[in-house]
């Protein structure tokens, strides 16, 4: 059974702070790691898909890294803004389906 | 048509009733997956359909069933509703079975009383 864990569960930061979250997954049978950003009452929005050990992806102030050998991925947000407030989900894809972690909810205070 | 649309957005049902949730996928997306998100948890995989055939199922009882239609729409049916079925139900479509390119709907909030 593929088990994906995220930490912390929630995070409160001040505007301008940089922050990061962790996604852990079993390193065996790994296929791909997905990060989603999910604002309340909206659809989850895809941020990154990563497959190779050592992958690094960047989108504006948000970046992510992947270590498939030890089974973790980090998501970094540089200079957090109030509009970054959302739940960030990671998921491993396995035979076409997504196995999600429980998410990290970020609240950025102005 | 772009995007994934789910209906209704909110629904209240009584324990023991049956419910049908609907999803309209992006044109050309042959795969649709349904997820249940209970409070405080991440989305849990219910099942997946590819070209109108079920292609994988999560740990959900048979009273959860689905259909996928040629026009890129799909349904999630739940019979004999239980209080624990109260959750947000998400639909996601993708072009194929690769696990890439998922587009999510904004979900249906089901409350069972």
Would you write out chain A's pLDDT as a tens digit for each of its 110 residues?
Answer: 568 999 999 999 999 999 999 999 998 877 899 999 999 889 999 999 999 999 999 999 999 999 999 999 999 999 999 999 999 999 998 777 899 999 999 999 99
Considering CB atoms only, which of B4, B41, B48 is closest to A97?
Answer: B48
The reply to whether A89 touches chain B by the CB within 8 Å rule is yes
CB B87 within 8 A of CB B41: no
Chain B residues inside the 8 Å CB shell of A97: 33, 45, 48, 56, 58, 99
CB contact under 8 A, A100 and B55: no
Q: Where are the strands (E) in B2-101, listed by range? A: 5-7, 10-13, 19-24, 31-37, 44-50, 53-57, 64-68, 73-78, 87-94
Chain A residues inside the 8 Å CB shell of B31: 96
Q: Which burial class, exposed, middle or buried, applies to A22 when counting CB atoms under 10 A from its CB (0-12, 13-18, 19+)?
A: middle
Distances, alpha carbon B52 to alpha carbons A70, B2, B24, in Å: 38, 20, 14
Q: From CA B108, how far away is CA A23, in angstroms rounded?
A: 27
């Amino acid at each position: 059974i593929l088990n994906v864990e995220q930490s912390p569960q929630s995070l409160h930061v001040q505007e301008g702070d940089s922050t990061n979250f962790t996604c852990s997954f079993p390193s065996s049978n790994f296929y791909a790691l997905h990060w989603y950003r999910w604002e309340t009452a909206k659809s989850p929005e895809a941020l990154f898909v990563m497959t190779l050990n050592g992958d690094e992806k960047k989108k504006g102030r948000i970046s992510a890294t992947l270590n498939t050998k030890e089974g973790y991925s980090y998501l970094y947000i540089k200079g957090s803004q109030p509009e970054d407030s959302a739940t960030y989900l990671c998921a491993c894809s396995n035979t076409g389906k997504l196995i999600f972690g429980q998410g990290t909810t970020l609240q950025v205070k102005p | 048509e772009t995007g994934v649309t789910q209906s209704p957005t909110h629904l209240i049902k009584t324990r023991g009733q049956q419910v049908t949730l609907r999803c309209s996928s992006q044109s050309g997306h042959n795969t649709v997956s349904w997820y249940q998100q209970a409070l405080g948890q991440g989305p849990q995989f219910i099942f997946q359909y590819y070209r109108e055939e079920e292609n994988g199922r999560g740990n959900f009882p048979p009273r959860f069933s689905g259909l996928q239609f040629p026009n890129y729409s799909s349904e999630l049916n739940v019979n004999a509703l239980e209080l624990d079925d109260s959750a947000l139900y998400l639909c996601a479509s993708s072009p194929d079975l690769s696990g890439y390119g998922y587009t999510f709907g904004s979900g249906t909030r089901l409350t069972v009383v």
